[in-house]
Amino acid sequence: MLELNNVTKKYQVIPAVNRVSFTIKPSEIVGYLGPNGAGKSTTIKMLAGLLEPTEGKILFDGKNIRKDLYAYKKRIGYVPENAEIYPHLSGYDYLLMVGRLRQIPEKILKNRIKQLLEFFKLSVEMDLAISSYSKGMIQKVLIASALLHDPEVLLLDEPLSGLDVTTSLVIKDLLKMLAEDGKIIMYSSHILEVVEKICSRAIIIHNGRIVADDSVENLRNLMKLPSLEEIFNQLVVQEDTTAQARGIIAAIRS
* Per rule CB under 6 A, count of chain residues that contact ligand ADP: 10
State phi, psi for 251 to the nearest 5 degrees.
Answer: -65, -45
Find the part of the chain contacting ligand ADP (CB under 6 A) among 38-46, 59-67, 212-220, 229-237.
38-46
Out of Mg ion, ligand ADP, none, which partner does residue 38 contact, by CB within 5 to 8 A per kind? Answer: ligand ADP
Angle at 60 between CA 155 and CA 51, to 5 degrees: 55
State phi, psi for 90 to the nearest 5 degrees.
Answer: -80, 165
The total number of residues written for the chain in this structure: 254
Out of Mg ion, ligand ADP, none, which partner does residue 238 contact, by CB within 5 to 8 A per kind? Answer: none
Query: Is 206 a residue that touches ligand ADP (CB under 6 A)?
Result: no
Query: Is 34 a residue that touches ligand ADP (CB under 6 A)?
Result: yes
Q: Select from 4, 38, 47, 130 the one that contacts ligand ADP (CB under 6 A).
A: 38
Query: Is 39 a residue that touches ligand ADP (CB under 6 A)?
Result: yes
Residue nearest to Mg ion (CB): 41
Query: Is 15 a residue that touches ligand ADP (CB under 6 A)?
Result: no
Angle at 233 between CA 232 and CA 237, to 5 degrees: 115
CB 189 within 8 A of CB 33: yes
Determine the Cα–Cα distance for residues 184 and 167; give it in Å rounded to an integer: 21
- Name the site residues for ligand ADP (rule: CB under 6 A): 11, 16, 34, 36-42
